[in-house]
Amino acid sequence: MPAPRVGLFATCLTDTFYPSTARAVLRLLERLGCDVDFPMDQTCCGQMHYNTGYREEARSLASKYAGVFAGYDAIVAPSGSCGGMVREIHPELHGSSDAFARTYELSEFLVDVLGVTDVGAYFPHRVTYHPTCHSLRMLGVGDKPLQLLRSVRGLDLVELPEAETCCGFGGTFAVKNADTSTAMLGDKMRCVLNTGAEVLCAGDNSCLMHIGGGLSRLRTGVRTVHLAEILASTEEEPWAATP
């Protein structure tokens, strides 16, 4: 079987602020035998516009996405939220397209398409996992990320209490309703700190930026790491914090 031709949809947030996550996806997928391409014309899925009420801007970005990602066997995004936007909302904005239907959140692609849960990763840290709302409720990834994390050597996985409660990010909600968002963040941080984990993992850098922004502000010493970076980490090339 020829290697699947995978389009990497980095998402604008990860491309701009968290390039180490996108490089981790690349490394991981290549290690698993995929032929990965990053089409340079990609930008943003338009979720922020759509969710804030700017439908026309979002429509134009959905159409752009359909063109940019046409022809790949699969498109993989390190985000349940952007993946959900593409698969669930783009067809409504632009009409159906293979590019939308073939878009996967990373854990879905690994478990459902490649059929692997042990990706040969090594990450010797105490980790707790926050299932992001859109990966859980829009895409229905279920426990796939946990299956992947459980197979990581050296990783001490601790259960996060009230895991399925939103962290309070919600895109522009975090600024439009900053007080409520912060109250939600406070409870999420309390749950994270109660686990005694040194690393909080999730499949969305947006939620991690929010929770991590709070954890950093309070100097908690807990770090946020995207699922892709944990899965890309190996004994030969272990994960290292990027400056």
Partner 1 sequence: MGSNPVTWLGSPVFPKAAKAALADTQLRRNLRKATHTIRDKRAKAVAELPDWEQLRRAGEAIKDDVLSNLDTYLERIEAAVTARGGIVHWALDAHEANEIVLRLAREAGTDEVVKVKSMATAEIGLNEALEAGGIRAVETDLAELIVQLGNDRPSHILVPAIHRNRSEIKEIFQREMAEKPASDEPRDLAEAARRHLRRKFLLARVAVSGANFGVADTGSIVVVESEGNGRMCLTLPEVLITVMGIEKLVPTWRDLEVFLQLLPRSSTAERMNPYTSVWTGVTPGDGPQQFHLVLLDNGRTDALADRVGRQALRCIRCSACLNVCPVYERTGGQAYGSVYPGPIGAILSPQLVNDMHDKQAASLPYASSLCGACYEVCPVRINIPEVLVHLRAEAVEAKGRTPESVGMAALGWIFNDARRYENAQKVGSLARHLAPSGRISSLPWPGSKWTSARDVPTPPAESFRTWWRKNRG
Q: Interface with partner 1 includes 166 (CB under 8 A)? A: yes
d(CA 175, CA 195): 28
The nearest distance, CB 230 to partner 1, in angstroms, is 18
Q: Which of 7, 83, 131, 214 binds partner 1 (CB under 8 A)?
A: 214
Q: Which stretch binds partner 1 (CB under 8 A): 95-103, 116-124, 143-151, 213-221?
A: 213-221
- The full DSSP string for 146-191 is HHHHHTSBT-EEEPPTTTTS--S-TTTHHHHTHHHHHHHHHHHHHH
Q: Where are the beta strands (DSSP E) in 63-113?
A: 74-77, 103-105
Q: Interface with partner 1 includes 60 (CB under 8 A)? A: yes
Token couple for 225: 């790491």
The answer to whether the CB of 159 falls within 8 A of the CB of 151 is no
Per-residue x/- track, 12-41, partner 1 (CB under 8 A):
x-xxxxxxx-xx--------------x-xx
The 8-class DSSP code of residue 122 comes to B
Q: Interface with partner 1 includes 190 (CB under 8 A)? A: no
The answer to whether the CB of 71 falls within 8 A of the CB of 102 is no
Q: Interface with partner 1 includes 180 (CB under 8 A)? A: yes
Size of the site for partner 1 (CB under 8 A): 65
Contact residues: partner 1, CB under 8 A: 10, 12, 14-20, 22-23, 38, 40-44, 46, 48-55, 57, 60-61, 64, 133-134, 136-138, 164-166, 168-185, 209-210, 212-214, 216-217, 242-243
